């Protein structure tokens, strides 16, 4: 009779299921949900508007003087670097500025200075003027 020592190797499934649930709870609790908010911009109207058919980066300036682009809030001091990076990624040559009509000229000029410094051309978004 052969008397070898045998080791019984059973892997319990219950600890693995517990571990999977713990990981699931951990990732669910630490996951940062970013919500894209709609930005309402009331742009000025003009009869001299033209459509653009080239690659562009759009920025939005709200009445509260916040700047948004590509779903991100961008601070004025970050704008030039942000636009340079996006220009390198997309090959865009134009920045389309969607500015609320109540924004001060001073702030708009500051934004346009940053756009110009990034090497992009500037276009201002307008809505078609209604004729009455």
Is residue 29, in this structure, part of any structural domain at all? no
pLDDT the model gives residue 51: 55
* Mean pLDDT, the chain, integer: 79
pLDDT the model gives residue 111: 92
Percent of the chain scoring above 90 in pLDDT: 24
- Structural domain tally of the chain? 1
* DSSP code of residue 110: H
Is residue 81, in this structure, part of any structural domain at all? yes
Of 94, 7, 115, 86, the closest CA to residue 51 belongs to 94
Is pLDDT at 113 greater than 70 in this prediction?
yes
Report residue 11: phi and psi, to 5°.
-105, 120
Which domain does 100 fall in, by range? Answer: 45-128
* Ranges assigned E (strand) in 27-126: 45-46, 56-61, 67-69, 72-74, 94-99, 121-124
Q: How far apart are CA 61 and CA 93, in angstroms?
A: 20
State how far Cα 117 lies from the chain centre: 21
Residue 105 belongs to a domain with what CATH number?
A: 3.30.420.270
Is residue 10, in this structure, part of any structural domain at all? no
Is residue 5, in this structure, part of any structural domain at all? no
Is residue 14, in this structure, part of any structural domain at all? no
Is residue 55, in this structure, part of any structural domain at all? yes
Q: What is the pLDDT of residues 51-104, one digit of tens each?
A: 555 688 889 998 888 999 888 899 999 999 999 999 999 888 888 888 888 888
Is residue 101, in this structure, part of any structural domain at all? yes
pLDDT band at 16 (very low <50, low <70, confident <90, very high): confident
Is residue 100, in this structure, part of any structural domain at all? yes
SS3 60: strand
Up-side HSE of residue 8: CA atoms within 13 Å toward CB?
Answer: 2
pLDDT band at 36 (very low <50, low <70, confident <90, very high): low
Q: Check residues 48 and 18 and name the one with the higher pLDDT.
A: 18
pLDDT the model gives residue 41: 55
pLDDT band at 115 (very low <50, low <70, confident <90, very high): very high
């Amino acid at each position: 009779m052969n008397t070898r020592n045998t080791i019984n190797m059973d892997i319990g499934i219950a600890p693995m299921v517990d571990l999977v649930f713990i990981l699931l709870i951990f990732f669910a609790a630490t996951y940062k949900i970013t919500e894209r908010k709609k930005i309402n911009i009331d742009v000025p109207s003009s009869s001299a508007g033209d459509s653009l058919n080239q690659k562009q980066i759009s920025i939005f300036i709200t009445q509260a003087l916040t700047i948004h682009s590509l779903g991100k809030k961008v601070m004025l001091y970050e704008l030039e670097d942000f636009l340079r990076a996006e220009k390198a990624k997309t090959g865009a040559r134009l920045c389309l500025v969607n500015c609320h009509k109540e924004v001060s000229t001073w702030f708009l000029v500051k934004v346009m200075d940053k756009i110009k410094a990034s090497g992009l051309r500037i276009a201002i978004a307008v809505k078609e003027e209604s004729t009455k």
